[in-house]
Amino acid sequence: MNILGLKMGVCAAALLLAAPGMAPAAGKPAAGRPWMNAKLSPDARADLVLAKLSLDEQIALLHGSMPMFMGGKKPAGVQISAGYFPGVPELNIPDLTESDASLGVANAGRKDDDATPLPSGLALAATWDPKTAFASGAMIGKEARQKGFNTLLAGGVNLLRDPRNGRNFEYLGEDPLLAGTLAGHTIKGVQSNHIVSTVKHFALNDQETGRMVLDGQIDEAAFRESDLLAFEIAIETGHPGSVMCAYNRVGGTYACENPFLLTDVLRKDWHYPGWVMSDWGAVHGVAAAKAGLDQESGQQLDKQVFFDAPLKAAVASGEVSKTRIHEMAHRYLRSLFAAGVVDHPVTAGGLDTAADALVAGRAEEQAIVLLKNDANLLPLMKTARKIAVIGGHADVGVISGGGSSQVIPTGSASFPKPKGAPQWGGGQIYTPGAPLKAIAARAPGAQVSFNDGADPAAAAALAEASDVVVVFATQWSTEGMDIAMKLDGDQDRLIAAVTAANPKTVVVLETAGPVTMPWRDKAGAILEAWFPGARGADAIGKVLFGEVDPQGRLPVSFPASEAQLARPVLPGSDQNIVETLTPSASKPFDVKYTEGSDVGYRGYAKSGDKPLYPFGYGLSYTVFRYSGLKVTGGKTLTARFTVTNVSNVAGTDTPQVYLTAGPKRTQQRLIGWSKLALKPGEARVVTVTAPARMLANWDSAGHGWKVDGGSYKLAVGPDAATAALKGSATVVAAKLKP
Ligand code: BGC
Residues with CB under 6 A from ligand 1: 82, 100, 153, 200-201, 279-280, 404
> What are the tens digits of pLDDT across the range 134-170?
999 999 999 999 999 999 999 999 999 999 999 999 9
For residue 472, the Cα-to-chain-centroid distance in whole angstroms is: 24
Asked about 112 being catalytic, the answer comes back as no
For ligand 1, atom 6, which residue shows the shortest CA distance?
280
Give the C-alpha separation, 81 to 97, whole Å.
Answer: 8
Percentage with pLDDT > 90 across the chain: 90
- The mean per-residue pLDDT over the stretch 408-413 comes to 94
Q: Which atom of ligand 1 is nearest to the CA of 100?
A: 10
336-345 burial, b at 16+ Cβ within 10 Å, e below that, comes to bbbbbbbeeb
CA 282–ligand 1 middle distance (angstroms)? 10
Give just the sign of the alpha carbon dihedral 513, 515, 519, 521: positive
Give the C-alpha separation, 400 to 532, whole Å.
Answer: 7
Q: Which residues, listed in sequence order, are joined to residue 151 by a DSSP beta bridge?
A: 98, 196
Give the C-alpha separation, 40 to 406, whole Å.
Answer: 39
Burial of 323 (0-12, 13-18, 19+ CB in 10 A): exposed
Residue 675 has pLDDT above 90, yes or no: yes
CA 353–ligand 1 middle distance (angstroms)? 24
| List 95, 129, 279, 294, catalytic entry | 279
CA 404–ligand 1 middle distance (angstroms)? 6
Cα angle 512, 517, 519; round to 5:
140
Q: What is the pLDDT of residue 577?
A: 66
CA 685–ligand 1 middle distance (angstroms)? 44
Q: Which residues, listed in sequence order, are joined to residue 729 by a DSSP beta bridge?
A: 712
Q: What is the pLDDT of residue 551?
A: 98
Give the C-alpha separation, 596 to 224, whole Å.
Answer: 10
Q: What is the pLDDT of residue 12?
A: 33
For ligand 1, atom 2, which residue shows the shortest CA distance?
279
Give the C-alpha separation, 594 to 712, whole Å.
Answer: 26
Q: Which atom of ligand 1 is nearest to the CA of 205?
A: 8
> What are the tens digits of pLDDT across the range 689-714?
999 999 999 999 999 999 999 999 99
CA 339–ligand 1 middle distance (angstroms)? 21
Phi, psi of 339 (to 5 degrees): -80, -20
For ligand 1, atom 4, which residue shows the shortest CA distance?
280
Q: Which atom of ligand 1 is nearest to the CA of 298?
A: 5
Q: What is the pLDDT of residue 713?
A: 98
Could you tell which of 11, 65, 100 is best to mutate to test the pocket of ligand 1, judged by most ligand atoms within 8 Å of the CB? 100
For residue 110, the Cα-to-chain-centroid distance in whole angstroms is: 22
For ligand 1, atom 8, which residue shows the shortest CA distance?
279
Give the C-alpha separation, 544 to 549, whole Å.
Answer: 9
For residue 598, the Cα-to-chain-centroid distance in whole angstroms is: 20
> What are the tens digits of pLDDT across the range 1-40?
233 333 433 333 333 223 333 333 444 456 799 999 999 9
Percentage with pLDDT > 70 across the chain: 94
242-245 vs 196-202, strand pairing mode:
parallel
Q: Which atom of ligand 1 is nearest to the CA of 98?
A: 5
Residue 585: band (very low, low, confident or very high) from pLDDT cuts 50, 70, 90 = low
Report how far apart, in Å, the C-alpha atoms of 142 and of each of 409, 506, 531, 549 are.
16, 37, 22, 29
Give just the sign of the alpha carbon dihedral 354, 356, 359, 361: negative
Report how far apart, in Å, the C-alpha atoms of 615 and of each of 128, 323, 654, 695 are.
12, 48, 12, 19
Could you tell which of 152, 280, 478 is best to mutate to test the pocket of ligand 1, judged by most ligand atoms within 8 Å of the CB? 280
Picking from 447, 449, 443, 489, the residue whose alpha carbon sits closest to that of residue 471 is 449
Picking from 425, 420, 396, 423, the residue whose alpha carbon sits closest to that of residue 408 is 425
DSSP for 543-609, please give it: HHTTSS------SS-B-SSGGGSSSSSPTTGGG-PPP-S-GGGS---EEE-TTTT--THHHHHHH--
Q: pTM (2 decimals)? A: 0.96
Residue 449 has pLDDT above 60, yes or no: yes
For ligand 1, atom 5, which residue shows the shortest CA distance?
82
Q: Which atom of ligand 1 is nearest to the CA of 153?
A: 10
253-254 vs 249-250, strand pairing mode:
antiparallel
CA 160–ligand 1 middle distance (angstroms)? 18
E-strand ranges in 42-85 read 83-85
> What are the tens digits of pLDDT across the range 589-639?
999 999 999 999 999 999 999 999 999 999 999 999 999 999 999 999 999
Residue 381: band (very low, low, confident or very high) from pLDDT cuts 50, 70, 90 = confident
Residue 81 has pLDDT above 60, yes or no: yes
Q: What is the pLDDT of residue 21?
A: 31
Q: What is the pLDDT of residue 578?
A: 65
CA 591–ligand 1 middle distance (angstroms)? 21
Q: Which atom of ligand 1 is nearest to the CA of 198?
A: 10
| Residue 449 CB neighbour total at 10 angstroms | 15
CA 153–ligand 1 middle distance (angstroms)? 8
Q: Which amino acid is at 550?
A: P
Q: In sequence order, which residues have a C-beta less than 8 Å from that of residue 311 and are 6 or more positions away?
A: 59, 62, 63, 286, 289, 320, 325
